[in-house]
Amino acid sequence: MEPESADDAALAGCKDKLKHFRIKELKDVLHLLGLSRQGKKQELVDKILAILCDQQDQVSQLNGLTKKPAVEKETVLKIVDETFRKLHSPANSAAASPNQIDSGQSVKPKKKLNGSAQKDVKVRCPCGSSMANGSMIKCDNPQCNVWQHVGCVIISEKSAESVPQELPSSFYCDICRINKADPFWVTINHPLLPTSIAPSKIATDGSYTIQYLEKTFPLSRANREMLQKAEYDIQVWCILLDDQVPFRMQWPLHSDMQINGVQVRVVNRQPTQQLGANGRDDGLVLTEYCKEGPNKIVLSRSDSRMFSLGVRIAKRRSLQES
C-alpha cells in the first residue's frame, strides 16, 4: 500500500475542516479567494475543493470564468485553516463588544491581539464552566458575542462518531433568546444564570424517570425593594435548547416546581402535551414567594430533551413601549 502523499493529507484535512463550517464561514472563504459566493452549502464546499483537486473545468464552470483562477493551493489551505481556528477558538478571534451582558465569566485570550481586540473574551455556558475548551460557538447578537461550548448547546441527531457535528447557520445564546421571547418584559438582571437541564433517564419499562433540579439564588435588599414596585417581577424561565422556534419559553413535560417549599403550577397546558409550532409557555412569576437572602427552587420533570433554566428580574413594558 502506497503511503499517503502530502497533497492527499492536506486535502483530507481541508475536507474535514470544511465539514464543520456553516454557510457563513464558507462564504467568507470564497470571498477571500475572490470566488462566487452563490449556491447551496455543498456547492460552496465544492467550489473550494475544486481548486485543491486541480479540477480546472469545474472551477471555471462554477465561477463563470474562462480560465482557472490564479489561486494557489497553499493560499486556500491557509485561509481554510485560519477560518477553522477562529471558529473553534474564541481566544483567537476579535473580542466581544463593550456592550456585552454584565453576567458571565471572562477568559484571557491565549494569543496577544492587536488594538481593540486586546480585551477579555467572555465565556458563559449553561454547563457552568468558564473555560474556553473544545469546540466553541459565538452568539450572533452583536451586543452579546459570548461563547458557549458546542457540546453543551448544540443538540445533534445521533450519528456515527466519525461524522462531525454540524453547526447552525444562526445561533443565539440562552439569555439573548429569553430577552427576545416576550416583548412585554425587559430583563433587569439575572439572580440565577442559565443552567442546563439534562434529559431524563429511561426506566426499565421504557418510560422516562422523574428527575429533579435544585438551585439556590440570592435576592439582595435592593432587588427586593425593587420588586415592591408593581411593574417589576422576579421570574423563572426555561427554554428548549434545540427549539425550532428559538425565541420562546418552553417547559419540560411533567414539570412541577417548588419555591422555598411552596408548590407552584408551572404551565397551563396538559403536562404530557408538547408545544406546537404556534404555542408558547410563560415564565413563572415568583415575586410573592421570594424573600431577601437565599431562595431555593426545585424543578421536577420527565422529558427526554435538553433545556436551559434561569431566574431573572424583569420590568413590564406597556403596549406603546414594546
Q: DSSP for 230-260?
A: TTEEEEEEEEETT-SS-SSB-PPTT-EEEET
**pLDDT tens-digit profile of 278-310?**
999 999 999 999 999 999 999 999 999 999 999
* pLDDT reported for residue 6: 61
User: Domain-by-domain residue ranges, the chain?
Assistant: 6-87, 89-171, 174-316
Q: Angle between the 41-52 and 6-19 helix axes, to the nearest 10 degrees?
A: 170
Q: Report the C-alpha gap between 24 and 36 in whole angstroms.
A: 13
Which pLDDT band, with edges at 50, 70 and 90, does 107 fall under?
A: very low
Topology adopted by domain 174-316: Jelly Rolls (2.60.120)
pLDDT interval class at 158 (50, 70, 90): low
Cβ–Cβ under 8 Å, residues 240 and 293:
no
d(CA 134, CA 148): 10
- Asked if the model's pLDDT at residue 69 lies above 90, the reply is no
CB atoms within 10 A of CB 192: 19
Q: What gap in Å lies between CA 196 and CA 241, rounded to an integer?
A: 9
Query: Taking the mean position of all CA atoms in its chain, how far away is CA 38?
Result: 26
Most confident of 87-96, 248-257, 312-321: 248-257
Distance CA 200, CA 61 (A): 51
Span 313-322, mean pLDDT? 81
Assign a CATH topology to domain 89-171: Herpes Virus-1 (3.30.40)
The verdict on pTM exceeding 0.85 is no
